[in-house]
């Protein structure tokens, strides 16, 4: 066994308790990593001996980001669409078809190399756990291929065959495909099922059918909901007890109460809100109502082409009125809970004795600097599984 003592930690945020307030936030701290896991943390004066000693020089340490919503397996570029949107064209679900065509035309190697590049980019910014989705194939063979490649590039994969209705296909026939042969084809590679419940995509009734088929197959339920309007996706997520509803730009008082009552997490995607010029999701209102929150990058080529969780955290603090502590929790423990990866010996999103050593070292004395110095690259070192 090999151990490393990390000293010179000005601030250690652990998220080892049930809430940000009940978790350890230590100053003048130290931490021991042994065989890829956290073996000890506490006051630097009490640190045990280890095989190696590394002085972090007064830097802050927090858990690695858990990015619970991305679409990194794709081909093509939609920069022209982005530019047109800046000139006034509204965002609509139909742009997904452009990426579907490019992705179908790409080889497996091209898709894997591109996805791994984005994964490496995310890791360099502190992301140690990352989800990705299918949804740019929209036929049985293509969706199965994206699920398989996603499994190689990410930590967990979500099936999003119900991303958009392909041109020239009957709605009823496509829903049957998504809930039948396509679901069976992706099942060996995926952990959750998602649906784009939105005008221009899938109705509430169609979305319910898709999610119930996924539940029957043993998958966690996720919903893209209420991004472009009050689509009914939030209410559906609450009705079915989904793990999350993501976007939530447009919510009624009843929607907020339903999420709080059902304990369904709202996943904030601030970079997408800015890119599409949608109203920012009402994070403060949701948090005050007791809705569990997560923050994710939504990295994708159409509406949020970024892997920077730090940017998303800063936006959530500066524009969506979350405290730094709330935003840090949402981007780590909150994302882990959405993915079902927040419990057990391999739980992520927190620094716990015995848990994976997934650490984000900041070139700053406190995590407050993520919002205090927005846009500045503050990641000094990333330790993933002790490496």
Integer angstrom CA distances of residue 126 from 75, 120, 161, 359, 363: 24, 10, 29, 8, 12
Q: Which residues pair with 62 in a beta bridge?
A: 360
Domain boundaries, the chain: 3-64+349-383, 66-339
Per-residue pLDDT of the chain (387 residues; tens, 9 = 90+): 799 999 999 999 999 998 888 888 999 999 999 999 999 999 999 999 999 999 999 999 999 999 999 999 999 999 888 888 888 888 765 688 889 999 999 999 999 999 999 999 999 999 999 999 999 999 999 999 999 999 999 999 999 999 999 999 999 999 999 999 999 999 999 999 999 999 999 999 999 999 999 999 999 999 999 999 999 999 999 999 999 999 999 999 999 999 999 999 999 999 999 999 999 999 999 999 999 999 999 999 999 999 999 999 999 999 999 999 999 999 999 999 999 999 999 999 999 999 999 999 999 999 999 999 999 999 999 999 999
Cβ-proximal residues to 103 (8 Å cutoff; 6+ apart), any chain: 73, 74, 75, 76, 111, 136, 137, 142, 146
Assign a CATH topology to domain 3-64+349-383.
Urease, subunit C; domain 1 (2.30.40)
Sign of CA dihedral 47, 51, 54, 60: negative
Q: Report domain 66-339's class.
A: alpha beta
Is 66-339 the same fold as 3-64+349-383?
Answer: no
pTM above 0.85, yes or no: yes
């Amino acid at each position: 066994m090999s151990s490393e003592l990390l000293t010179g930690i000005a601030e250690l945020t652990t998220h080892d308790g049930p809430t940000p307030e009940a978790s350890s936030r230590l100053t003048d701290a130290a931490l021991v990593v042994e065989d890829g896991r956290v073996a000890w943390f506490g006051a630097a004066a009490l640190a045990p001996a280890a095989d190696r000693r590394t002085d972090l020089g007064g830097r802050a340490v927090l858990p690695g980001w858990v990015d619970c919503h991305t679409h990194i397996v794709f081909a093509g570029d939609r920069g022209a669409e982005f530019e047109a949107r800046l000139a006034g064209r509204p965002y609509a679900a139909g742009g997904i078809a452009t990426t579907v065509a490019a992705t179908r035309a790409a080889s497996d190697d091209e898709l894997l190399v591109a996805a791994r590049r984005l994964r490496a980019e995310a890791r360099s910014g502190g992301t140690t756990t990352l989800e990705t989705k299918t949804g740019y194939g929209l036929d049985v063979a293509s969706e199965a291929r994206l699920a398989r490649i996603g499994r190689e590039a990410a930590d967990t994969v979500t099936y999003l065959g119900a991303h958009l209705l392909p041109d020239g296909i009957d709605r009823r026939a496509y829903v049957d495909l998504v809930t039948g042969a396509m679901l069976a084809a992706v099942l060996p590679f995926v952990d959750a099922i998602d649906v784009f419940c939105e005008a221009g995509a899938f109705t509430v009734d169609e979305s319910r059918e898709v999610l119930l088929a996924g539940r029957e197959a043993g998958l966690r339920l996720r919903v893209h909901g209420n991004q472009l309007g009050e689509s009914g996706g939030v209410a559906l997520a609450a009705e079915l007890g989904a793990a999350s509803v993501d976007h939530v730009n447009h919510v009624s008082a009843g929607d907020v109460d339903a999420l709080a009552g059902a304990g369904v997490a709202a996943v904030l995607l601030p970079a997408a809100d800015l890119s599409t010029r949608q109203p920012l999701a009402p994070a403060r209102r949701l948090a005050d109502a007791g809705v569990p929150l997560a923050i994710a990058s939504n990295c994708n080529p159409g509406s949020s082409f970024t892997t920077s969780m730090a940017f998303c955290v800063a936006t959530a603090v500066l524009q969506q009125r979350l405290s730094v502590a709330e935003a840090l929790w949402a981007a780590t423990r909150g994302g882990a809970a959405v993915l079902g990866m927040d419990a057990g010996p391999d739980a992520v999103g927190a620094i716990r004795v015995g848990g994976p050593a997934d650490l984000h070292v900041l070139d700053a004395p406190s995590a407050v600097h993520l919002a205090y110095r927005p846009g500045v690259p503050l990641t000094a070192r990333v330790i993933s599984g002790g490496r």
